[in-house]
Amino acid sequence: MAIDYAARLALVQAAINGLLTGGMQSYEIEGQKVTNLDLGWLSKEEARLEAKLRRQQGRGGFRAAVPR
């Protein structure tokens, strides 16, 4: 079963939004309840999922080296 990174990213972003706008301290993601949301962890997970999506879409995550 392939992971739907776009759907998971949407859930993580919803959790971030809930935490920032309403002070939400728990959220349910794919049947698993998460309590005491950690903004730092959610931000890292958001970046990880965005990178996965870029790779899936063929945009990669690497930048060209710039000679000095």
pLDDT tens per residue, range 13-60: 988 888 888 777 777 777 777 777 788 888 999 999 999 999 988 865
pLDDT tens per residue, range 27-40: 777 777 777 778 88
Q: What is the pTM of this model?
A: 0.66
Those residues with Cβ within 8 angstroms of residue 37's Cβ, 6 or more apart along the chain or in another chain: 15, 18, 19, 24, 25, 26, 27
